[in-house]
Structure 1
Amino acid sequence: QLSGGQRQRVAMGRAIVRNPKVFLFDEPLSNLDAKLRVQMRIEIKKVHQKVRTTTVYVTHDQVEAMTLADRVVVMNHGRIEQIGTPNELYHKPATRFVASFIGSPAMNFVPCRLEDVGGKLNVRLTDRLAFALPPARAARYQALSRTDRLLLGIRPEHIMEARPHAEPGVEPFDAVLDVTEPMGMETLVYFTLEGGQICGRVSPNAGAQDGSPLRLAVDLNNMHLLNEVTGAVL
């Protein structure tokens, strides 16, 4: 007479009270509704902090992986792509698969190339749009070939509304918004660049409207460059 979600929670409770040396959880929250999943994530974390038993936790939900894990193993078709802490995977992904899987909304990827202009290193996205790289990033990418096929990876939170006094490495540009998604504390904005859809996060007071132009800025201090062919983060 128990529902699927109730059976899952009972099974977890039965495993925990046996006090084993290792837990193996295979998507234990998959049958729960969204609200209950959040509650159970908190409960599982509380239990782990109290019991301190080694736990191998299999999930397709990156939020569960990020919030519950001490270390995350990201697998793709049975192959390990990267192992690290949640923060390492989020801020220093090793491959395009990891970069796109960790984080919601997903990281944006735009075809680009490097070019030398007036002693500075630029990343060029389109014929009309190029950004000067901050010194630390320029030094990191200086040795790369100017003819390589590259991807610029940038997370939505690093594309925001332009401000009058931006910090170094934050480059402004103009975009025409296709769609906006008001989320309350922030607004997600979507626009098209070189045929691909790009997502940014702006303040709810930024004046973002569907079909309207908006002055945005990209924070290149948090950019990633990827090899377009291999998917490796450079």
Structure 2
Amino acid sequence: MPPSVDSAAAPPRGHRVRQTIAQLRERILGGEWAVGGRIPTEPQLVAALGVGRNTVREAVRALVHAGVLECRQGSGTYVVSTDELAPVVARRLTADRMAEVVEVRRAFEVEAARLAALRRTAEDLAALDGALAAREAAWRDGRFDEFVAADAALHTAVVAAAHNGMLAELYASVGTALHSTIAQSMGGALEPERYADHSRLVEAIRAGDADRAAIEAGAFLEPTPGA
């Protein structure tokens, strides 16, 4: 029996695979399939997406290769990341490359602080104040792990206040590296000589002083002598 639809009208295979990858990624980013959760089985995906088994298989394989999905023998396929860059960065994060990570952070954070001073909203300032307060409280109480998390949250809030979506996405991809460099810079303990006052950075952003905000952001990320 001839096909009901002219085969010439069907999109090429590569196009169907790319569309399927985009659909899978959209469901992951939208939270339908959470990190740590299992995605539907191959037959279920075929039915839900309206494409063939081979197309689904290739799309899933591409996202596995990208580090977004993980196939577990006898169990299924699971979401392990919402960000394709994060696994790549994590694989490259080694102790001997921490100096490079700091340089990348500096490139992101200095520009983010400058933009944040120009674009911050009342909501951004409230988020910065909250993150700063949490950071200071963790320091006062000597809670190392909470301090590292709060410090990372403050830097992330500065990037968010820049209102540059691409910058925020790229910065999110270095999340693991961010925590590692903060923890390393603290030497594993909250010692007074390692304290860095971030209130001046927040105040520069509040004042709309882009140059001062950039200077304050860069001051925390000066290269280590001899590194």
TM-score range, shorter chain: under 0.3
Q: TM-score, normalised by structure 1?
A: 0.25
Greater RCO (Cα-Cα under 8 Å, separation 6 or more):
2
